[in-house]
Amino acid sequence: MLLCEQQTPRGLNQLPRKKTEMELAVNITLLLMLCATVFAVVKLQSLFAIVMLFGIYSLLSAMIFVALDAVDVAFTEAAVGAGISTVLMLATLVTTGRWKKKPERSGLLPLFVVTITGAALVWGTLDMPEYGNPANPAHHHVADRYIAESPTEIGIPNMVTSVLASYRGFDTLGEVIVVFTALVGVLSLLQVRRPRTFARKQDNRPDTHRRRPYPVLQVVALIMMPFIIVFALYVQFHGDFGPGGGFQAGVIFAVAFILYTLTYGLDDSLALTPLPALKILAAGGVIIYGGTGVVSMLLGGNFLDYNVLAANPVSGQHIGIIVIELGVGITVASVLITVFYAFVTRAERNRAGEKQVDLPNKAD
């Protein structure tokens, strides 16, 4: 509260006017495009088109995040929303079919509910402070302190990483555990299995002739993979200085293996990244994160207080942030890879026909 009164916010008239006008124009255009995409989603019946439009919606919102200065968020949204979510939904469509039936239920009641709720919310916004005004209460209290102190207290340029990994380290630990729990949930619903193992046991023909030949795609995927992985590592360890960090790096890392699975098949990619190893890594990331907290407790600090990790508090913070970001990256990458494998296993079973693949299962 005190901080709020001490700060004298800059008035809007002192700002470079041309820049804000440009920002506003870009903002309005992008938001209108977003609305158009959403109305297409509401209207369309083809689920395939809906999912692709959802990918476009995510990419557009990532662009809006860049225009609104949230570069880290934009990075994550582009990788997660437009990449992973779309891929997972497409994998679901392989199982569930790509056409939805016409809605039998009348659209009037939902429309009425939605209109009333929307009107109430718009009425609520009239009390909200104006967009972009530096004097808004959301920009004060702790936010001032993060902006003023984090460069000296934590010593890294990217404030988002400072807040994410250090000031709000507890919160992020919780999120990583949620991601891990989602993996546990998915694995208890779906199984991951090498689709051709049983078939190969039955007839001892070599495996190679079964592989669907995608020569162009396979070569391109092989060329891309090292670059994707190097980029993931760059994002992981450069997250202190620019946009990036464990969440984004984990997603990009997972994308490399998803690309491999898409072009070479689940059999080959399970040979590359065995399921037990993925499970251990997913848990290991959480343990690395929580373990850092325990270590800082053992060294005499609070849980996740990185100051005690080195003689100098600032280098302690650096070590702590790098270690926990590594934990986050490992968990996110292995969780997303495993979830994708589970989805592909289900899709492959569906493709092969339930009977064929279920038979060996009943035999053992």
The pattern of x and - marking residues 2 through 21 that bind other proteins according to CB under 8 A reads --------x-x--xx--xx-
Interacting residue with other proteins among 41, 275, 287, 299 (CB under 8 A): 41
The candidate with the shortest Cα–Cα distance to 30, out of 72, 60, 69, 74, is: 60
Q: Which residues 335-354 are close enough to bind other proteins by CB under 8 A?
A: 335-336, 339, 342-343, 346
**Can residue 100 be called a binding residue for other proteins (CB under 8 A)?**
yes
Q: Measured from the CB of residue 233, what is the shortest distance to other proteins in angstroms?
A: 16
Minimum CB distance to other proteins smaller for 7 or for 200: 7
Tell me if 161 sits within 8 A of 326, measured CB to CB: no
DSSP one-letter code for 104: -
CA–CA separation, 62 and 323 (whole Å): 28
CA–CA separation, 267 and 273 (whole Å): 10
The candidate with the shortest Cα–Cα distance to 15, out of 129, 133, 128, 130, is: 133
**Can residue 92 be called a binding residue for other proteins (CB under 8 A)?**
yes
CA–CA separation, 88 and 160 (whole Å): 28
Stretch that binds other proteins, among 193-201, 241-249, 279-287, 296-304 (CB under 8 A): 241-249
The pattern of x and - marking residues 43 through 62 that bind other proteins according to CB under 8 A reads ----x--xx--x--xx--x-
Look at residue 217 and give its three-state secondary structure. helix
Q: Which residues 153-212 are close enough to bind other proteins by CB under 8 A?
A: 157-160, 162-164, 168, 171-172, 175, 178-179, 181-183, 185-186, 189-190
Minimum CB distance to other proteins smaller for 43 or for 201: 43
Residue 103 CA to chain centroid, in angstroms?
32
**Can residue 121 be called a binding residue for other proteins (CB under 8 A)?**
yes
Q: Which residues 272-301 are close enough to bind other proteins by CB under 8 A?
A: none
Count Cβ atoms below 10 Å from residue 308 Cβ, excluding itself: 17
Q: What is the largest CA-CA distance in the chain?
A: 78
**Can residue 96 be called a binding residue for other proteins (CB under 8 A)?**
yes
